[in-house]
Amino acid sequence: MMKPLFTALIAAGAAMAFSVAAQAEADGEAVYNQACMACHMTGAAGAPIKGNKEAWEPRIEKGIDTLYEHSINGFNAMPPKGGNMSLSDEEVQAAVDFMVEAVE
């Protein structure tokens, strides 16, 4: 009787651990929609529009680490973390990845 209960508890624990790990991953699209879209959909203040390959190419050529740095710390008219300082660096990086993937 104890073995099935123990097996069920182990399986439930593993499922819960997987769920927590999945939730911990930043959702780039959600961050984009919440913090980035206002400028990167309209081109406000010179922001490269998501999906505009020509606007993104010179930025991508500088490397992903530079894009991350500029997005996290701010660059030109873009404020740090798109103005949402409550975002983690990982969330900002996920949003950058989401926008870059749209032009690759």
How do residues 77-95 score in pLDDT, each as one tens digit?
999 999 999 999 999 999 9
Region 12-36: mean pLDDT is: 70
Secondary structure string (H, E, C) spanning the chain: CHHHHHHHHHHHHHHHHHHHHHHHCCCHHHHHHHHHHHHHCCCHHHCCCCCCHHHHHHHHHCCHHHHHHHHHHCECCECHHHHCCCCCHHHHHHHHHHHHHCCC
Number of residues written out for the chain? 104
* Mean of all residue pLDDT scores within the chain: 85
pLDDT score recorded for residue 98? 98
Mean pLDDT across the stretch 66-80?
97
Domains of the chain, first to last? 26-101 (1.10.760.10)
Whether pLDDT at 66 is above 60: yes
- Give this prediction's pTM: 0.76
